[in-house]
Amino acid sequence: MSEILTARALLAKLVSFPTVSRDSNLELVDWVAEYLDGHGIATARDYDDTGKKASLYAHVGPEETGGVVLSGHTDVVPVDGQAWETDPFWVTEKDGKLFGRGTCDMKGFDALAIWAAVEAKRRGVTRPLQLALSRDEEIGCVGAPPMIERMKGQLPKASLAIIGEPTSMGIINGHKGGTGFDLHFKGFEIHSSLQDRGVSAIMEAARLIQWCNEQNEQSAAEADPDSPFDPPFSTLHVGMIEGGTAHNITAKDCMFVLSLRCLPTEDVGEWRKKVLAEIARIEAGMKAIRPEAEIHVDPRWDVPGLKEEVDGEAEAMVRRLTGLNSAGVVSFGTEAGQFQSAGYSAIVCGPGNIAQAHQPNEFIEIAQLEQGEAFMEKLLSELA
C-alpha cells in the first residue's frame, strides 16, 4: 500500500502540476490515478477530443446507488502577466496562508476529496463515496457533462453531489447559469471615404454590443428587488474585442466573445434564441450591402444555473456537516447546475474565499483547509 498523504501534502502535489486550461492535465490525472490505485481504488477517465486532457472519477464503498459525489475541477487559470511574489506552482506558507495557483480555486477541495476517498476505502463505508475531478471547468464547464454521463453509465448512480468551489465553507444553493459565443464578423474592405459601399465588421459588431447594453438596461429596470442575486438580473457582456486593418479602411474582421450570465429562474435557451435572432438581423443588413459579408457563430459553453431545491438532500446533508442554518446564492457559475440537470441533488460548499480565485498570489488560509478536513471527517462518519 502507498503512503497515506495528508490533505496538505496532497494540495502541494496537485499545485505542482501546472494544469492551466490551455495545456494538458494528464500528468496530474496520471498521478492521482496511481495514488488512488496504490490504496485499492480503481479510477476511470473521460478524455477530450485531443486526448491531452481527461476527467477522472472513482467509486468507493458498496456497489449500490445513493452515494455522495465530491466534485472538483483540475484546471486552473493562467498566471501570465500577474505579479507573483512566490512560485505559483509551488505551495508556499506565509502568515497562516498557503500561496500557489489553484490553492483556493480549487485544488484545496480536490486534495480534501482525494484524502476522503482514501480514508473511506481504508476505514470502510456503508454508503458509497464517489470522486469526480473534471477537466476544462475554467473555459466554460465543458468537461463535467461528458464525465457525468460516463459516471451514470459506469458507476452506481449517486444521489447527491457536493461541488467544492470556494465558499469559505458556507452553503450556496443557487447560482447563475450562462452561455457564450465566439463571434467573427466578416465585413467588406473599402476606403473609408466610401464606407457606405463596404461593410465595417467593427461597426456592425458595435450594433450587437449596443443591443447587449440595451438588454442589460431593460433587465435592470425589470429586476426583482427581492432577488437574492447581485446583480438581481441576467447580464450580457463583451470583455475583449479585436479587428480592423487601418483607420481609413472599413474593417474586414472583428472578433469577440459574447457571454451571458443568466438567473436560474430564467431559461438560458430562450436567451440564446434572442441573441441568435439579433445576430441574424444584423447579418441580414450586412448582406444587403455586400452578400459575402457574414457573421460566424461558434458556441463556447452552456452552463445551467443551480436552482434552490425544496427539501434538497444535498443541502440537508451539508447543513448537518457544517452546522449552518442558512444558505446563499452567487452570480458565478459552477458545475453544480450540471449535476443537478443530470438528476443529482447538488450544493456548493468548499474551503477558500472566491475573492482569491484567479488572483496573483492566490492563497487559501490554513484555517480554511483545516475546516475542510473537519467537514470531511464528519462526512466519513455519516457515510460509515
Q: Which residues are catalytic?
A: 75, 137
Question: Measured between alpha carbons, how far is residue 249 from residues 41, 98, 204 in Å?
Answer: 62, 52, 14
Q: How far is CA 102 from CA 71, 88, 298, in A?
A: 15, 9, 29
User: 132 has which bridge partners?
Assistant: 57, 71
Burial of 362 (0-12, 13-18, 19+ CB in 10 A): buried
Please provide the DSSP assignment of 74-87 as one string. Answer: --B---TT---SS-
First vs last C-alpha separation in the chain: 22
Nearest to 366 by CA among 381, 378, 352: 352
Sign of CA dihedral 8, 10, 13, 17: negative
Question: CB 179: neighbour CB atoms within 10 A?
Answer: 22
Distance CA 221, CA 5 (A): 53
Q: For residue 103, what is its C-alpha cell?
A: 490553492
Rounded-to-integer distance, Cα 41 and Cα 58, Å: 7
